[in-house]
């Protein structure tokens, strides 16, 4: 069985406003019989990954839950660099 998950296409929502945020397209493809839909695609923001990690920690017992990329309000470099670095970190989180 094969399952592939990709974090793609970051988009800034409400750019320039006090409540702007970035969301990411999460694409899943599988041939697993455990899934009814063989492909799915949703958009999620960082705080939803934080929620997911907390839920996994509650139910993981002694199994370590992967870390998320940091949430830094002060990033040295461009916003695009930060968004790409976070996208890569979210990708690693889901793969692990």
The full 3-state SS of 63-77, as one line of letters, equals CCCCCCCCCCCCCCC
**Domain CATH number, residue 75:** 3.30.1520.10
Contact 13, 21 (CB under 8 A): yes
Question: How many CA atoms does the CB half-sphere of 39 hold within 13 Å?
Answer: 4
The total number of structural domains in the chain stands at 1
Whole-number pLDDT of residue 78: 63
Q: Domain range holding 87?
A: 3-95
Whole-number pLDDT of residue 43: 97
Q: What is the pLDDT along the chain (96 residues), one digit of tens a residue?
A: 888 999 999 998 887 778 888 999 999 999 999 888 999 999 999 999 999 999 999 988 888 899 999 876 655 556 888 889 999 999 999 998
Whole-number pLDDT of residue 79: 83
């Amino acid at each position: 069985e094969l399952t592939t998950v990709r974090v793609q296409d970051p988009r800034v929502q409400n750019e320039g406003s006090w409540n702007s945020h970035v969301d990411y397209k999460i694409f899943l493809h599988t041939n697993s019989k455990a899934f009814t839909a063989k492909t799915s695609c949703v958009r999620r923001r960082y705080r939803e990954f934080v929620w997911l990690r907390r839920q996994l920690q509650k139910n993981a017992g002694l199994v370590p839950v992967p870390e998320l990329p940091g949430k830094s309000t002060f990033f040295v470099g461009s916003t695009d660099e930060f968004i790409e670095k976070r996208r890569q970190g979210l990708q690693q989180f889901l793969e692990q």
